[in-house]
Amino acid sequence: MKFLHTSDWHLGRQFHNVSLLDDQKAVLEQIIAYIENNSVDALVIAGDVYDRSVPPTAAIEVMNQFVNRVCGELKLPIILIPGNHDGAQRLGFGSGRMRDSGLHILSSFEDMLNPVVIDSESGPVAFYGMPYNDPEVVRHHFKQSVTSHDEAHQFLSQQIRECFIPEHRNVLVSHCFVDGAMASDSERPLSIGGSDRVSHEHFVDFDYVALGHLHQPQKKGEDFIRYSGSLMKYSFSEQHQKKGMTLVELDENGFKSATHIDLTAPHEMRIIEGEMQAIVEAAKTDPKPDDYLLVRLLDNHAILNPMEKLRAVYPNVLHLEKPGMLVGVEQQMSQAKLARSEMDMFKDFFFEAQNGELSDEQETALKQIITQLNQQ
């Protein structure tokens, strides 16, 4: 039994006011190509298919087309749960009508205890999906004194274990924050103020645990308790993360292996650091100038229209930081006088704007103006 584990697609997400939907579509095409060229038995999506509970219709269309291709044409079953970004009821509409066609949206606690069983050469595998829910919902639904995410997952895992059948290997699909795992900048906290961490101990009786929520691929506690990571990078701080999906293999004895399959967005997210002149120079030989960039400008002097200059060579600079200028500001704060005088700053500006130095006459006139202004 081989299946693909993926999560955190966040279809419809915006990044610095740029829609990522075309990039997301391109990555989904890579998933489809993999399925076409390799033999797998199922695709698991561990929550956050959409970025919001009411996704834009364009995102719904992309998902619909994906599902029609994968379940409809390629006849591969998809098993998915809602994450904290999805709206479970909204996503779950018609789920009862879709199960026979291979799309398994496990969006309720009833669905959770009713696994999707898929046969394979190594025997039947039961996929249990734990739809994302706040602890209060678990407490209310099951009339249990559950107060934290940890207690909720302990309780829900126990409920599921009671459904186990000896012949089955068992896979859990869950969307949660396993204690000790590494967060990224692009996740929305599950809990404000309270603890959202869950012990991996609740999951050790499963043969594989397909996790979603954290955007960095990683395992935690056991080799078979894994985050696939997000479909693509959703913050600049993820620039060095390898995004992809996890190919999971089970055999008669349970977990056999997990392999990372790279997925690459057309536009990578990168941070470029340096002085303006060096960045513009390096751009000439940059093989991917269309990437989404955060540029950290290290120049210490003021630069006129830096964004315009950068976008001439890197059209998708989405964010600009000027730590060099900030150093200047900090120095100013700690000194009685400005580190760079008004005269120096104007000279920088004049140089940028006119591409030349002030004449003696201009400098004298400017000094008078500054003196006058300071006396007011």
SS3 113: coil
The DSSP call for residue 259 is E
Q: Say whether residue 98 binds a second copy (CB under 8 A).
A: yes
**102-132 burial, b if ≥16 CB within 10 A, otherwise e?**
bbbbbbbbebbebbbebeeebeebbbbbbbb
Size of the site for a second copy (CB under 8 A): 24
Six-digit token pair at 313?
């060579």
Q: Nearer to a second copy by C-beta: 85 or 243?
A: 85
DSSP secondary-structure letter at 17? T
- Smallest distance, a second copy to C-beta of residue 130, A: 20
Shortest gap between Cβ of 167 and a second copy (angstroms)? 27
Smallest distance, a second copy to C-beta of residue 289, A? 34
What mask, x for binding a second copy by CB under 8 A, covers residues 101 to 140? xxx-------------------------------------
DSSP conformation letters of 350-375: HHHHHSSPPPHHHHHHHHHHHHHHHH
Residue 64's alpha-carbon distances to 71, 76, 91, 245, 288, in angstroms, are 10, 15, 12, 20, 31
Instruction: Compare residues 93 and 344 and give the one whose CB is closer to a second copy.
Output: 93
Binding mask 1-40 for a second copy (x = CB under 8 A): ----------------------------------------
Q: Out of 87, 266, 274, 324, point to the residue binding a second copy (CB under 8 A).
A: 87
262 touches a second copy by CB under 8 A: no
- Give the nearer residue to a second copy in terms of CB position, either 46 or 103: 103
Give residue 270's identity as a one-letter amino acid code: R
**Nearer residue to a second copy within complex by CB, 44 or 293:** 44
User: What is the C-alpha to C-alpha distance for residues 279 and 297, in angstroms, rounded to an integer?
Assistant: 9
d(CA 229, CA 241): 9
Select the residue interacting with a second copy from 29, 33, 96, 343 (CB under 8 A).
Answer: 96
Q: Which range in 91-99, 271-279, 314-322, 339-347 contacts a second copy by CB under 8 A?
A: 91-99
User: Site for a second copy (CB under 8 A): which residue of 75, 97, 143, 240?
Assistant: 97
* Least spacing, CB of residue 98 vs a second copy, in Å: 4
The stretch near a second copy (CB under 8 A) out of 4-12, 84-92, 250-258, 307-315 is 84-92
Give the C-alpha separation, 314 to 311, whole Å. Answer: 5
Closer residue to a second copy in complex, CB, 23/86: 86
Nearer to a second copy, 102 or 328 (CB): 102
The strand ranges marked E within 176-283 are 177-178, 197-198, 208-212, 218-220, 222-227, 244-251, 254-262, 269-274
Shortest CB 105 distance to a second copy, Å? 8
Query: In angstroms, what is the minimal distance from the CB of 137 to a second copy?
Result: 13
What is d(CA 104, CA 271) in angstroms, rounded to the nearest whole number? 39
| Residue window 52-71: x/- pattern of binding to a second copy, with contact defined by CB under 8 A | --x--x--xx-xx--xx--x
Compare residues 72 and 289 and give the one whose CB is closer to a second copy.
Answer: 72
Q: Which residues of 262-278 are buried (b: 16+ CB within 10 A; e: fewer)?
A: ebebebbbbebeeebee
The least distance separating a second copy from the CB of residue 15, rounded to whole angstroms, comes to: 23
- 161: contact with a second copy by CB under 8 A: no
Torsion, CA 152, CA 190, CA 186, CA 217, rounded to 10: -10
Nearer to a second copy, 79 or 225 (CB): 79
Task: Tell me how far apart the alpha carbons of residues 291 and 271 are, in angstroms, rounded to a whole number.
Answer: 10
Nearest to 71 by CA among 42, 96, 50, 97: 42
Interacting residue ranges for a second copy, rule: CB under 8 A = 54, 57, 60-61, 63-64, 67-68, 71-72, 87, 89-90, 92-94, 96-103
